[in-house]
Structure 1
């Protein structure tokens, strides 16, 4: 193998191109970008007018000549050109466009993506100028970022609840033994809150308002002395602006339905887990990562159902990118692995 001069000839990038947020890490500079995966285009000129947080502020407040674009929907690239455009503008704005030349890139992807979708992710990085690209499953990176030593021959159960998908996996001996993915996650929770407010109060609210309700009073257990929140929207009967009070108990009941689907998937994973690894899971418990880990009562919820120890990662939102950063320590082995994967794919 060639004697690669890492840090001089090659740069290292880690990217979590998520449904909700895009996070970018550059070797030697740390986290250079952490904003919503959203862009706003002027339809008359087809030019980008806002990106990330600025675009997020525009949700529900635009006119017919502005088009909001999310490159990833439910963990899958829905717009290849937009995804590439997103990365070009991010690194262009940061004046780091040249960083892609001769770069070694680790890209995170949901467990359920197809080989075609993996290839699409890899193609984006290659088109940006990257020399080596590894597309790794988010749940594996999340486990590493949560501080789990997945290199041991010992079963660890990880749940990564992101914006578009929830990934559940058993990891042992350095890789995933079993993994499953479901398109029930943060965005789905917001949509369910939207539907409930409309059905219960005849009030139409925006997706940002639904997300804020989830953050303010979202819980999976009964909260003591929790006050209702004021919600503003449009009355679907009169068409006029209207204010309603929403109680925490109502949102708890809304969230329990989608979470029951996540627990069903977890049961499915556990039923397929080899006996020896199942014993390890009993000893090690469950680790929860991703934005969904911030919903109050989530630990007690899973503990009450599965009678296992449950913990949330110290920084659940950053687990995937923190896990990707660990690859920087062994760049030589990383390049060998990428070359082996690329050679195998070519032969196939």
Structure 2
């Protein structure tokens, strides 16, 4: 099949959201990666935003499933079902046949988990499936010229994982991943409110608190917020009034894990690249980069300039869009064999 006849599809299989990009069409899907099933018939009731609206408000006959957690497929059949329903909804199932699929995954994903991701795409009819690190795609999507032999530090704070990488000469030199990200912050907020106010709140409430009050440094217009949950003693509905300072303390404590990971990465960085980093600073990507004061936080600790991605939520698929040109050049040069399992020597692709 001619190269131009193949459909290019890029998927950012995030813990919080799934984004799908299709060549010549752009981003065709961007919704929460959650599904609702009927427990008796095992039929899909809702997915995406519709299913997200049901979180915490369903009865025992509805089962909520998130097939991808921390960049890992925890339910292979549900993941296949999710992708099939997404593209069926878009009336684009035929686009999978003989297609080129690029899957973005966290740095810490194992080879076994990577193969599971690829198998989902192969089972849906893809001809060539490639896997690249999310942090690399996020760097491209943020506008970094990663092809230059110059060190760039990219911090990608997603929903399930935070990936940190040093990228130079077109690929990842060294990377680390930790499961401290958006969902972890939500859990820490829930724990704090339960501990301090004896109130149990739901996942969506915790996420709203993070968005409304979350910060890593003081800012003008700090406020308080009323949250409603269940009293852990009486079991009755109860209100708690939370301040910005309280949530800031929770987040700063959580971010210390990311800071330690970054320090460990820097300690293993080649000296020449370390010099570049002082000049270039950090590029912060992902949904976590929207937390107030994050630039000031990292700058205060490391004394280097920090830049926020202009498109933190869609940066990975935007980067994949740019990476398509590289894939096409490699295909024309014969780097990828059948099902992309055989690679011609000289290919710069690290993960295939």
TM-score category (smaller protein): over 0.9
Distance in 2, matches of 1:180 and 1:52, equals: 29
CA contact (8 A) 2:102 2:132 kept: yes
Counterpart of 1:302?
298
Q: Which moved more, 1:330-339 or 1:27-36?
A: 330-339
- The answer to whether the aligner puts 1:5 opposite 2:2 as a matched pair is yes
Gaps of 5+ in 2: 345-352
* Counterpart secondary structure, 2:221: coil
User: Matched residue pairs, number?
Assistant: 341
Counterpart of 1:339?
337
Counterparts of 1:14-29 in structure 2 under 5 Å? 14-29=10-25
Deviation (angstroms), 1:72: 1.1
CA contact (8 A) 2:71 2:160 kept: yes
Deviation (angstroms), 1:334: 4.0
Gaps of 5+ in 1: none
- The answer to whether the aligner puts 1:140 opposite 2:139 as a matched pair is no
Deviation (angstroms), 1:132: 0.6
Distance in 1, matches of 2:271 and 2:335, equals: 30
Counterpart of 1:232?
228
Given the two structures, how large is their TM-score scaled by the length of structure 1?
0.96
Deviation (angstroms), 1:331: 4.2
Distance in 2, matches of 1:337 and 1:197, equals: 54
Deviation (angstroms), 1:337: 3.9
CA contact (8 A) 1:133 1:338 kept: no
Q: Which moved more, 1:301-310 or 1:215-224?
A: 215-224
* Counterpart secondary structure, 2:137: helix
Counterpart of 1:325?
321
Structure 1 residues 270, 84: CA separation in 2 closer, same or farther (over 3 Å shift)?
A: same
CA contact (8 A) 2:283 2:308 kept: yes
RMSD: 1.3
* Counterpart secondary structure, 1:317: coil
CA contact (8 A) 2:152 2:280 kept: yes
Counterparts of 1:169-184 in structure 2 under 5 Å? 169-184=165-180
Q: Which of residues 82, 85, 105 in structure 2 aligns to 1:86? A: 82
- The answer to whether the aligner puts 1:281 opposite 2:277 as a matched pair is yes
Deviations 1:23-58 (A, max 9, x none): 001112111100000000000000000000000000
Counterpart of 2:350?
none
- The answer to whether the aligner puts 1:199 opposite 2:198 as a matched pair is no
Counterpart of 1:37?
33
Q: Which of residues 186, 190, 196 in structure 2 aligns to 1:190? A: 186
